Amino acid sequence: MTYPLVRRPGPSTVRLDLATFSRLAGIHPEMVHRLVALGLLEPVRDSAGELWFGRDQLLAVARIRRLRMSLGLNYSSLGLVVDLLDRVAGLERQLRVASSRRIGGTPWI
């Protein structure tokens, strides 16, 4: 078994600029701007006003693209669907914790 000698930065510390992010996400930079304007992506702006994205935002783009293709939703309704899916996931998490406490087990979150 091998272990890295240097700790790799996690998703919260790695930031991607707009060009790199759009290339890795497979979408045009204008589409990235549209998704940011709709509130579907949450970049960080630096003092110069440039957008920087965490790697977790790549997962958000993949989710958005999957919902758009499979359900045929327009971009405005994607925000509502993503919010609802996040709420369902949160409620399921709470239910798992509550049920594990009731039966005396440990939560498997």
CATH of domain 15-103: 1.10.1660.10
CA dist., res. 46 & res. 49, Å (int) = 5
Q: For the chain, what is the largest distance between any 2 Cα atoms, rounded to a whole number of angstroms? A: 54
Q: pLDDT digit string (tens) for 4-24?
A: 454 555 545 689 999 999 999
Q: pLDDT digit string (tens) for 37-84?
A: 999 999 999 999 999 999 999 999 999 999 999 998 888 899 999 999
**What is the Cα 66 distance to its own chain's centre?**
13
Tell me, yes or no, if the pTM score tops 0.75: no
